[in-house]
Structure 1
Amino acid sequence: MPRHARETLLLLFTLVLGAPARADDLVRTIQAVKPSVVGIGTYQRTRSPAVQFVATGFVVGDGRSVITNAHGIPANLDLANMETLGVVIGNRGKVEFRPATVVARDPAHDLAHLRIEGAALPALALGGPADVAEGQSLAFTGFPLGMVLGLHAATHRASLAVIAPIVLPALSSGKLNSRTVSRLSAPAFPIYQLDATAYPGNSGSPVYDPQTGVVHAVINMVLVKGLKESAISTPSGISYAIPVKHVRDLLEQAAP
């Protein structure tokens, strides 16, 4: 057989055999990631239900740090009735609530750093800014419908459609309003647009490499849509994520 024919056959075998391997990578990665994904909510013993879900979060660092979206953290807790902020963990069909404390917030990037009590949980590794590129395959795991269907984390595939600035100028002066002007005055930063649909409960979900589980971004719906898609009432198939660089910066605020 001619050499070029052998090389062509080898390439075909590599492509055919390589695809299932990549799919298997995601199956294994999901199992490794899920124990690090938690619900964010509040607990009040006299309330029904006692636990109210507000967002998704994920564990980093020493296993007691949790990252989520800042907008999901209640501005005020009902302290008179002993309402407590914390994380919700699904453990063999049972729901466990761990109290948590907010140790740092980053309103500009809509991120919050919580510290939980109790035993450390499995932590996810954080990537770097040079680890992502447009077209790259990604996945995110979280609770798209909160606890409506039980505390069962769901995973969605995605690809990085584009890296773009968070703020886009209005096409005409007629589209400017006080909210738009105030947002335009804030510092712009790159965000990741994903070709996948995320839901409100996904806010705070880790966006990670399907093969390694390394986190590259955090799903964010509220902050970004208010800036980039205010003219679109029901966008479909598009989600946004905050680059993990800002998670690293937030964690450094609590470093000794």
Structure 2
Amino acid sequence: MPAVPPPPPAPPSLVERARHRPLLALAVVALVAWVAGLAGAVVGNRIARDDSSPARTPSTLGLVRAEPRTEPLPSMDAYAAASAIGPSVVSIDVVAAGTEGVLRGSGTGVVLTADGEIVTNAHVVEGATSVRVRLPGETEPRIATVLISDPARDLALLRIDADALRPAEFADPADIRVGDEVAAVGFALGLDGDPSVTVGIVSALHRTSADEQKALKNLIQTDAPISSGNSGGPLVNSLGQVVGIITFVAVADLGSQANDLGFAISNAELLPNIERLREEVDGGLVPIGFLGVQLAPRDDGGSGALVTDVVADSPAELAGVLVGDAVVSIDGVPITGEAGLVATIRDHAPGDEITIDIRRDGEPITVTATLAPRPPD
């Protein structure tokens, strides 16, 4: 077969597109290894379960958190890091009903507590009718219950019947630095056996990403090779402490020479959101605040996001936000682009009062808004 010349280079994009198109057409790939694609979003997804499924109750045990470091991390020893985190990494098998029949997918999870609470990505269990978890050293999977799923932050909590699991240890969020050596651990491609381990560095911090379903901020960017099936797996430092949860990889569009980029939800976002999700389990749905603006990138090179429309009678309109305003910070925290603003609002609940710093015709203005419940899609 004659060689096919590569397409002309195109710049890489970090704008998310449809998850299940061919790989080369993707800018962002969700890292769950599906036999076929799934469509549709599920918030607070309740998995159909039989009588042997674990109860829908969160663990009352605390997370294992490392003390802030006072000394530099040791150099990466991949074997040592993998050995430290390995007992806390589980494979997740998902069954879902699709237009082409029954679909199976696989991902990765991280053990939070000895009594069976596990964190993974929401997109791993999206649309699932059955979820099973296989523990290290075991051959038979265990039935899992989805306690709660939050697609807006791409996190889900699972529960299995257990009483002596090895919880992962989470690094202090302030100890994660650009240049740190890290290892990505997960069940790449859903392969049997032990999880795959790849090594890289923390390339950048505070990245953002957003699409119709989710808005993520404070992401860790890494050059550690990441594959489908790694979703929900840990990104760990040289001590085997979790620094983030792997969530997606951005690939070069149409033959661009840019290297693939991996992203993980950092502990700065992960840890408080685990606690928040635990509190929301009883209701099953995660309340999301609503401001009422449409956004675009700023066209003057400044930071923040440009308001292109304001919803009538929304909190934004009542606060005095106008089309053309550039939102630069919320509650004094700088906004990184549209995704940063969306993620910040989604971190607030209805009824929260926020302070919005904007630039209007070059002048700084501060307004206060009380967020409303997010209207149905």
Per the normalisation by structure 2, the TM-score is 0.47
Matched, 1:136 2:180: yes
RCO higher in structure (CA 8 A, sep ≥6): 1
Map of 1:219 onto structure 2 = 246
8 Å Cα contact 2:114/2:163 also seen in 1: no
1:249 Cα deviation (Å)? Answer: 2.4
Q: 1:197 to 1:75 in 2, by over 3 A?
A: same
Map of 1:13 onto structure 2 = none
Q: Alpha-carbon deviations, 1:98-156, whole Å to 9, x = none?
A: 11111122212211111111333111111232111111111121111213xx2321111
Which of 163, 166, 169 is the equivalent residue of 1:122? 166
Q: 1:208 to 1:188 in 2, by over 3 A?
A: closer
1:33 Cα deviation (Å)? Answer: 1.2
1:43-62 matched pairs, under 5 angstroms: 52-62=104-114
Map of 1:254 onto structure 2 = 278
8 Å Cα contact 2:122/2:151 also seen in 1: yes
Consecutive unaligned residues in structure 2, runs of 5 or more: 1-73, 97-102, 282-377
Runs of 4 or more consecutive aligned structure 1 residues displaced over 4 Å after TM superposition: none
Which of 19, 22, 28 is the equivalent residue of 2:80? 28
Partners in 2 of 1:112 and 1:236 — Cα distance? 29
Say how many residue pairs are matched.
199
Map of 1:240 onto structure 2 = 263
Map of 2:140 onto structure 1 = 96
Which of 226, 232, 236 is the equivalent residue of 1:208? 236
Matched, 1:72 2:124: yes
Match of 1:135, SS? coil
Partners in 2 of 1:128 and 1:106 — Cα distance? 23
1:218 Cα deviation (Å)? Answer: 0.7
Matched, 1:198 2:226: yes
Map of 1:166 onto structure 2 = 208
Match of 1:27, SS? helix
Q: 1:96 to 1:119 in 2, by over 3 A?
A: farther
1:233 Cα deviation (Å)? Answer: 4.8
Calculate the aligned-residue CA RMSD, in Å. Answer: 3.0
Match of 2:163, SS? coil
Match of 2:185, SS? strand
Consecutive unaligned residues in structure 1, runs of 5 or more: 1-20, 45-50, 78-83, 169-178
Counterpart residue identity of residue 225, structure 2: T
Q: 1:113 to 1:237 in 2, by over 3 A?
A: same
Per the normalisation by structure 1, the TM-score is 0.67
Which of 189, 198, 201 is the equivalent residue of 2:217? 189
- Bigger share in helix: 1
Match of 1:202, SS? coil
8 Å Cα contact 1:98/1:118 also seen in 2: no
8 Å Cα contact 1:90/1:96 also seen in 2: no
